[in-house]
Structure 1
Amino acid sequence: MKLSGLQIFWLMFTFETGNMILLTVSPVIEDAKQDVWIAYLIASLLGVLIVYIASKTALLHPKQTLVQFSKSVFGKWIGTFVVLIYLVQWYSVVGNILREFADFTITILLPLTPPWPLFITMLLLMIYVTFIGGIEGIGRCSEVFGPIILFSVIILVIFSLKDVETINLMPVYIDTGFFSIWKGALTPLAFLGESVIILMLASFTDNPRNVVKSAVSGIALAAISATLVGLCVLLVFGPDISAKLRHPTFDVVSYLSIMDFIQNLEIIAVLVWILSVFIKLSLYFFLSCYGTAQLFKMKDWRKMIWFCGIFFFILAQFFPDTSYTLGYMKTYWTQYALPINMVGIPILLWIVTKVRKKMKVSGTM
């Protein structure tokens, strides 16, 4: 299984864009109000820094995944504990997003449908692409879906320009202050920080020299896209209304009307989100299966697919509805996963590896 630099780029972009656009706009506007664009810019810069450090760390251990080199860096027991921390994140996020996918689809498209058929449908697609193609198959899907998502976001932003009210940007900073803006930035930063999965993906690349450039570019484009969409929501609805809406991006798209002819563009927003969620779920599904198999030294990692498929179906059934998602983001995701999984451990891996390499060169080890 090999990934090209272009596939890494589109994986990073597609993986991040859909959920960021759908789930982060309302919480950010609630905290940062009319300074939502500043919060997104802060999150974008820090998100790019996170993926840069993670990419550099992965390249210090060529042809090894996080599961393998964490043990060589921290030792067997601490390294295993570090891997378990990431597995908890990967497993929990699949269950959460599966539930979120089903609830959103039921609310928007299929109000009389129970969740379980949607769980099974998405899981079967994930199992198929993972079993048949592995990470390479997911990468090829992202090459197809990524440009579609990017084009759709550009079109929707352009179409919303006629409804913007620049007065919604005022006043800048005075009514919010740094603390509120920083609090608002944490939510999109926690999503962008998921790019630390490059610690696993870098070992699959055919040309490691392209990893940093491709990963950073993909995250930067996803961050820019989310920033533009958040800005459009603010300019169209204003901070007060936007903060009260659960999915303000979808509501903006529903509001669009071009010459009373181009209307009902919600399906484009749904398409963007479903394509992005499929890539995100498939990627986390692969990481969960492959990472667990490596942890337990299984020769055939594909055997984990069947266990994980059943486990995720049960987990999604027990996850609360989408109202829990915001609580999940503001508690576990921003208070634990962000500082530990996305910032602390990658930096620690990078520092310890650098120190050990210098000590080995100087002959003190």
Structure 2
Amino acid sequence: MKISGLQIFWLMFTFETGNMLLLTVGPPIIVAKQDAWISSLIAIFFGIAVVFAATKVGLFFPNKTLVEFTKLILGKWLGTIIIFFYFIQWYSVIGTILGEFAEFTITILLPTTPSWILILTMLLLMIYVTYTGGIEGIARCSEVFGPMVLLMVVLLVILSLPNMEFDRILPIYSETGFREILKGSFSPLSFLGESVIMMMMISFMDQPKQGPLKAIWGIALSGFLVSTVIISVLTIFGPEVASKFLFPAFETIRFINVMNFIQNLEIIAVLVWILSAFIKVSLYFFSASYGTAQILKLKDWRKMIWFVAIITFLIAILQPTTKLFGTEYVNEYWVKYVLPINMIGFPLLLLIVGSIRNRTAASKNGS
């Protein structure tokens, strides 16, 4: 299974965009108010740093996955502990997004449909694309879905222009201050930081050295698009009104009305999120299946697809409340724990120790 640099670009873009538009537009507005777009730009800068570190770590052992090279860098026991933390993230994210997909679809489109039917439908699609195509199949889907997501979001922003009043993002900085702006960046950064999945993807690239640049461009474009949407939300509603919405980006689309002809475009927003969420959850699903097989030393990794499917289906079904998918989930779990540990701490540790080991090995070979 090999994927190209272009596929990595579209994977990272599509992987990031949908959930960021759904869940990371509101939290920065609540904290940074009209300066939320600055928070988003700061998140892009640090997100690029995260994916750069993650891809550099992957290049230490370009033919091995995160599950394999973590033990080589940190030793068997510490490496296994770190891998365990990533497995918790992967399995929980799959279940959470499946539950999120069901709740979002029920809320917007199908209010009388049982959630388990929607969860099972998405899960079967994930199983199919992962079993038949592996990472190549997911990457090819991203090449189709990625440009569609980009064009649809750009189109919706353009159609929203008549409703925008740019004085609603004034004054800049003076009423908020750097501390609140920085705090507002944590939510989008915690999603851009999911690009650490590149530590699993590098080994599947036909030209691994293209990984850092392509992944950086993918998350930079996604982050810039989300920043543009945040500006759209602020200029249409203002920070006070926008902060009260559960899905502010979705609410802006309800206001689109061009010549009383182009309107009711909510289905496009739903499609954007579903396409992006499918790529994201499929990528996590593949990583969990492949990684679990490597831990158990199974030659046929596809056997673990069924195990992962059952576990994540149960997680999705047993999610306690819809609040899990809103601000509380992002702030109380994702930002506080996953961001500093899995997205910043472990990649930096692997980068530092791996660099030291490489230099030591190089000096021994030189001598």
* In 1, Cα distance between equivalents of 2:348 and 2:310: 34
* In 1, Cα distance between equivalents of 2:320 and 2:72: 38
Q: Is the 8 A contact 2:163 2:255 kept in 1?
A: no
Which residue does 1:243 correspond to in 2? Answer: 243
* In 2, Cα distance between equivalents of 1:274 and 1:37: 24
1:33 pairs with 2:45: no
1:309 pairs with 2:300: no
Which residue does 2:330 correspond to in 1? Answer: 329
The residue identity in structure 1 corresponding to 2:93 is V
Following superposition of structure 1 onto structure 2, how do residues 256-335 of structure 1 map, counting pairs within 5 Å?
Answer: 256-325=256-325, 326-335=327-336
Which residue does 2:206 correspond to in 1? Answer: 206
Which residue does 2:9 correspond to in 1? Answer: 9
SS at match of 2:290: helix
The residue identity in structure 2 corresponding to 1:60 is F
SS at match of 1:95: helix
* In 1, Cα distance between equivalents of 2:362 and 2:141: 43
1:134 pairs with 2:134: yes
Q: Is the 8 A contact 1:103 1:321 kept in 2?
A: no
* In 2, Cα distance between equivalents of 1:230 and 1:320: 29
Measure how far apart 1:361 and its partner are: 2.2
Which residue does 1:348 correspond to in 2? Answer: 349
The residue identity in structure 1 corresponding to 2:308 is C
* In 1, Cα distance between equivalents of 2:132 and 2:150: 27
The residue identity in structure 2 corresponding to 1:356 is R
Following superposition of structure 1 onto structure 2, how do residues 149-228 of structure 1 map, counting pairs within 5 Å?
Answer: 149-228=149-228
* In 1, Cα distance between equivalents of 2:53 and 2:350: 10
Select between 192-201 and 318-327 the one with higher mean Cα deviation: 318-327
1:357 pairs with 2:358: yes
Q: Is the 8 A contact 2:32 2:184 kept in 1?
A: yes
Measure how far apart 1:182 and its partner are: 1.3
Measure how far apart 1:209 and its partner are: 2.0
Deviations 1:282-315 (A, max 9, x none): 0111111111111111111111111111111111
Measure how far apart 1:56 and its partner are: 1.1
Q: Is the 8 A contact 2:168 2:235 kept in 1?
A: yes
Measure how far apart 1:321 and its partner are: 3.0
Deviations 1:35-82 (A, max 9, x none): 011100100111011111111111111101000000001111110001
Select between 351-360 and 73-82 the one with higher mean Cα deviation: 351-360
Ranges in structure 2 where 5+ consecutive residues have no aligned partner: none
Which residue does 2:80 correspond to in 1? Answer: 80
* In 1, Cα distance between equivalents of 2:320 and 2:99: 8
Poorly superposed stretches of 4+, deviation over 2 Å: 361-365
* In 2, Cα distance between equivalents of 1:190 and 1:320: 22
Measure how far apart 1:183 and its partner are: 1.4
Q: Is the 8 A contact 1:100 1:321 kept in 2?
A: no
Instruction: State the number of aligned residues.
Output: 365
RMSD: 1.1
Select between 124-133 and 345-354 the one with higher mean Cα deviation: 345-354
Q: Is the 8 A contact 1:86 1:341 kept in 2?
A: yes
SS at match of 2:301: coil
* In 2, Cα distance between equivalents of 1:17 and 1:346: 22
The residue identity in structure 2 corresponding to 1:351 is I
SS at match of 2:61: coil
Select between 322-331 and 310-319 the one with higher mean Cα deviation: 322-331
